[in-house]
Chains A and B, each alone.
Chain A
């Protein structure tokens, strides 16, 4: 792709574009320092501007220093440096700009669509061509058809204040891709000389899914281009702004964000474990070791010139995690359990309890398994946590916990309670927390709700909170990481 917006806007406009671009990156939460800003300005001088890929990587290498931020960067990049031209206008203007006639090159490659627009395609023809293109993996044709599909189905109107996802949804719904995949699989099976083995079947499906993914990406890009053309760069960048993975709210994460969170949690645990281990090793100095100091004083003629200190024994706390896994906070509990287990070698013992209105110990699911995801899955399916109706009842759960496991809490135990304390107006039984705190080393409460919602409606986190050593808002990975780090 060579017809890049920047080629038309060299010199000063380019600088302004870059400035806006960097401002937007900062707005999106990426830490871009002044040096990096200058580096980027310097870097683009060396890059042939018509090489869009090189341009993108030049900006990426100078401005983004964390792989988790790459997606945010890419989105902003696509908006600021999207392919522009009159063909993306929602209502074609009479006066064509200089780049107006520059139809994207792949249109020409897709011979069957020759002739600009190709408006004449009926829905059936479009579906049929798409089917053929996906079946044969003709990427160029897929791209061209994605554009067609947007024109036909998205129903984009200038100035209409709807998000891009709305148009995306409309387009994809009309293309009916799930059915398409099945049809394609059927065809592949029919074309095969002999019946497909499970392995072949799987590989074929992977391939077709990859092609459909490409189609989706193209549709998305097309919609974005048209929106940029319609609303302008700044407005578009704002609507597309998404939180960085470490800032995504557990409670309101979309499915895609969830997948990213899951990916983010593994490196996080590794990082935390490494840091905690290091912290232990460099532990603070302990109290004066009188005997050792005196022994060493012999070499200074009896003058205790070099004080020696006792190194504190690393205190390895026991952790009791008590997590609410009712629907509203399940995602949060899942991440916390994963995180705590992944760094459990930093603790002498980790025991986990989950509850809704009944409570059950689930430590056994985590023992002897490497696969935390699997363990959490078993927690969700096998643990006996429903007592009456499966609506959170903190009071009852705490009471049962106290009666069954309360005496196992000792001075080395740190208790972490995870939940939003939305108790459905049941009795709070807050005395359990009070008793716990008397016996335990610390009792902490992590609440995945924003602080502003606490103690509203049926939330009684305050009632429990006064008996704990601290209640913490814990809505994203960043906050969770900070908490666990302080714990050890």
Chain B
């Protein structure tokens, strides 16, 4: 069997080339997903690069990215396959018009439940593709627990059973990424089939690197400051801590405004890009500006 990756280190290297800065955990799990032919369940706060990971892996492999966006009410006909019944009807009618009475029901039946009338949906598409494929099942925690079961056959055996056609096995094993914001507990069955990866906010060094890589024309000094301020803000008890994508937005804004060193004034004026709730903004502004020695102590350790 051919493996796609040499080692965890090479995964990291390749991801870096497409500007995705993975830490050891991320690289290790992607590498294992390939080796063990198992899907990866990626969890973590919003905006830390879960979806981007799948995209970047697709990019370095030169694979097609097939994306299934999950939502409440997603069903078989949207996720797996559907019969193109309009076309089937046309076919039956055409038959009737062409040769009246000469085709039997059996002929028609074998005919209309064939590939030609099958509409493939993302999951089926992914396993039937001839070329390498990365399958992204986004926000899997949005579907109902019953619907989750639809995924199980694909995820464990890379096959889809269609009653009229039998079982369609994969022509190649796709790399599968499932993302989840953890709004509900996923089923044990699903978790068992997956490798688990939690992507958290990056540490200072990595975040700085990400900013440097993704924001053109930013100075080393500004990137450093941005990362430090974001780290500081994340330590506050907020409704919604700034995500990496928000860090990037903020850094871009600062560059656009021609700021090369953030002072309190600039920080408080642009902080609404980083934080999305008024209460959070008020809290952060207060903490960042008016704390002298004493006030700082209470930080992150709000009195019970």
List residues of A whose CB falls within 8 A of some B CB: 31, 33, 35-36, 39, 42-43, 46-48, 51, 53-54, 57-58, 60-62, 64-67, 70, 197-199, 201-203, 205-207, 210, 258-259, 262, 267, 270-271, 274-275, 278, 330-331, 334, 369-371, 373, 377, 380
Q: Which residues of B have CB within 8 Å of A369?
A: 279
Q: Which residues of B have CB within 8 Å of A62?
A: 32, 195-196
Shortest distance in angstroms between B180's beta carbon and chain A's nearest beta carbon? 11
Can you name the residue of chain B whose Cβ is closest to the Cβ of A370? B279
Contacts A60-B196, A259-B301, A267-B182 known; 13 new A-B pairs at CB < 8 A = A35-B192, A46-B32, A47-B28, A57-B24, A58-B32, A60-B25, A61-B25, A61-B195, A61-B196, A67-B182, A258-B304, A275-B184, A377-B302
Please report the C-alpha to C-alpha distance between residue A278 and residue B239 in the assembled complex, in whole angstroms.
23
Q: Are B228 and A207 in contact (CB under 8 A)?
A: yes
Assuming the contacts A46-B35, A203-B228, A370-B279, asked whether A330 and B304 have C-beta atoms less than 8 A apart, the reply is yes
Q: Are A53 and B28 in contact (CB under 8 A)?
A: yes
Q: Are A47 and B8 in contact (CB under 8 A)?
A: yes
Q: Which residues of A have CB within 8 Å of B204?
A: 210
Determine if B93 is an interface residue (Cβ-Cβ < 8 Å).
Answer: no
Q: Are A377 and B303 in contact (CB under 8 A)?
A: yes
Please report the C-alpha to C-alpha distance between residue A212 and residue B301 in the assembled complex, in whole angstroms.
17
Please report the C-alpha to C-alpha distance between residue A73 and residue B195 in the assembled complex, in whole angstroms.
15
Q: Which residues of A have CB within 8 Å of B237?
A: 262, 371, 373
Q: Which residues of A have CB within 8 Å of B27?
A: 54
Please report the C-alpha to C-alpha distance between residue A74 and residue B182 in the assembled complex, in whole angstroms.
21
Shortest distance in angstroms between B77's beta carbon and chain A's nearest beta carbon? 21
Q: A-B pairs with the 6 shortest C-beta distances?
A: A57-B28, A53-B24, A61-B195, A46-B35, A65-B191, A67-B198
Residues of B2-58 contacting chain A, CB below 8 A = 7-9, 24-25, 27-29, 31-32, 35-36, 38, 40-41, 43-44
Please report the C-alpha to C-alpha distance between residue A66 and residue B43 in the assembled complex, in whole angstroms.
9
Q: Which residues of B have CB within 8 Å of A36?
A: 192
Q: Are B263 and A197 in contact (CB under 8 A)?
A: yes
Shortest distance in angstroms between A109's beta carbon and chain B's nearest beta carbon? 18
Segment of B97-105, B207-215, B283-291 in the binding face: B283-291
Determine if B221 is an interface residue (Cβ-Cβ < 8 Å).
Answer: no
Can you name the residue of chain B whose Cβ is closest to the Cβ of A55? B28
Q: Which residues of A have CB within 8 Å of B198?
A: 67, 70
Shortest distance in angstroms between B185's beta carbon and chain A's nearest beta carbon? 7
Q: Are B28 and A58 in contact (CB under 8 A)?
A: yes
Q: Are B289 and A198 in contact (CB under 8 A)?
A: yes
Assuming the contacts A53-B28, A54-B28, A371-B279, asked whether A33 and B304 have C-beta atoms less than 8 A apart, the reply is no
Q: Are A57 and B25 in contact (CB under 8 A)?
A: yes
Q: Which residues of A have CB within 8 Å of B304?
A: 258, 330-331, 334, 380
Assuming the contacts A334-B304, A371-B279, asked whether A198 and B195 have C-beta atoms less than 8 A apart, the reply is no
A61 in complex: contacting residue of B197, B232, B290, CB < 8 Å: B197
Determine if B86 is an interface residue (Cβ-Cβ < 8 Å).
Answer: no
Q: Which residues of B have CB within 8 Å of A380?
A: 303-304
Determine if B251 is an interface residue (Cβ-Cβ < 8 Å).
Answer: no
Q: Which residues of B have CB within 8 Å of A274?
A: 183-184
In this complex, the member of A51, A58, A370 whose beta carbon has the largest number of chain B beta carbons within 10 angstroms is A58
Q: Are A46 and B291 in contact (CB under 8 A)?
A: no
5 pairs, A vs B, C-beta closer than 8 Å? A39-B195, A43-B36, A53-B25, A70-B198, A201-B292
Assuming the contacts A54-B24, A197-B263, A278-B144, asked whether A43 and B277 have C-beta atoms less than 8 A apart, the reply is no
Determine if B235 is an interface residue (Cβ-Cβ < 8 Å).
Answer: yes
Shortest distance in angstroms between A357's beta carbon and chain B's nearest beta carbon? 20
Determine if B231 is an interface residue (Cβ-Cβ < 8 Å).
Answer: yes
Q: Which residues of B have CB within 8 Å of A259?
A: 301
Determine if B264 is an interface residue (Cβ-Cβ < 8 Å).
Answer: yes
Determine if B169 is an interface residue (Cβ-Cβ < 8 Å).
Answer: no
Determine if B229 is an interface residue (Cβ-Cβ < 8 Å).
Answer: yes
Assuming the contacts A202-B232, A370-B277, asked whether A64 and B196 have C-beta atoms less than 8 A apart, the reply is yes
Shortest distance in angstroms between B211's beta carbon and chain A's nearest beta carbon? 16
Can you name the residue of chain B whose Cβ is closest to the Cβ of A36? B192
Determine if B206 is an interface residue (Cβ-Cβ < 8 Å).
Answer: no
Please report the C-alpha to C-alpha distance between residue A65 and residue B194 in the assembled complex, in whole angstroms.
9
Q: Are B229 and A203 in contact (CB under 8 A)?
A: yes
Q: Are B228 and A206 in contact (CB under 8 A)?
A: yes
Q: Which residues of A have CB within 8 Å of B44?
A: 67
Interface string of B229-259 (1 = CB under 8 A from A): 1011001010100000000000000000000
Determine if B274 is an interface residue (Cβ-Cβ < 8 Å).
Answer: no
Can you name the residue of chain B whose Cβ is closest to the Cβ of A33? B192
Q: Which residues of A have CB within 8 Å of B25?
A: 53, 57, 60-61
Determine if B80 is an interface residue (Cβ-Cβ < 8 Å).
Answer: no
Please report the C-alpha to C-alpha distance between residue A271 and residue B141 in the assembled complex, in whole angstroms.
10
Please report the C-alpha to C-alpha distance between residue A371 and residue B35 in the assembled complex, in whole angstroms.
46
Determine if B68 is an interface residue (Cβ-Cβ < 8 Å).
Answer: no
Can you name the residue of chain B whose Cβ is closest to the Cβ of A31? B188
Q: Are B239 and A371 in contact (CB under 8 A)?
A: yes
In this complex, the member of A39, A51, A54 whose beta carbon has the largest number of chain B beta carbons within 10 angstroms is A54
Q: Are A61 and B28 in contact (CB under 8 A)?
A: yes
Can you name the residue of chain B whose Cβ is closest to the Cβ of A274? B183
Q: Are A198 and B239 in contact (CB under 8 A)?
A: no
Q: Are B288 and A43 in contact (CB under 8 A)?
A: no
Please report the C-alpha to C-alpha distance between residue A206 and residue B184 in the assembled complex, in whole angstroms.
34
Shortest distance in angstroms between B298's beta carbon and chain A's nearest beta carbon? 11
B235 in complex: contacting residue of A65, A199, A206, A278, CB < 8 Å: A206
Can you name the residue of chain B whose Cβ is closest to the Cβ of A203? B228
Q: Are A42 and B36 in contact (CB under 8 A)?
A: yes
Q: Which residues of A have CB within 8 Å of B96?
A: none
Q: Which residues of B have CB within 8 Å of A42?
A: 36
Determine if B87 is an interface residue (Cβ-Cβ < 8 Å).
Answer: no
Please report the C-alpha to C-alpha distance between residue A43 and residue B32 in the assembled complex, in whole angstroms.
7
Q: Are B264 and A197 in contact (CB under 8 A)?
A: yes
Please report the C-alpha to C-alpha distance between residue A47 and residue B33 in the assembled complex, in whole angstroms.
12
Q: Which residues of B have CB within 8 Å of A373?
A: 237, 302
Determine if B267 is an interface residue (Cβ-Cβ < 8 Å).
Answer: yes
Shortest distance in angstroms between B36's beta carbon and chain A's nearest beta carbon? 6
Can you name the residue of chain B whose Cβ is closest to the Cβ of A35? B192
Please report the C-alpha to C-alpha distance between residue A259 and residue B300 in the assembled complex, in whole angstroms.
9
Q: Which residues of A have CB within 8 Å of B279?
A: 369-371
Q: Are A271 and B183 in contact (CB under 8 A)?
A: yes
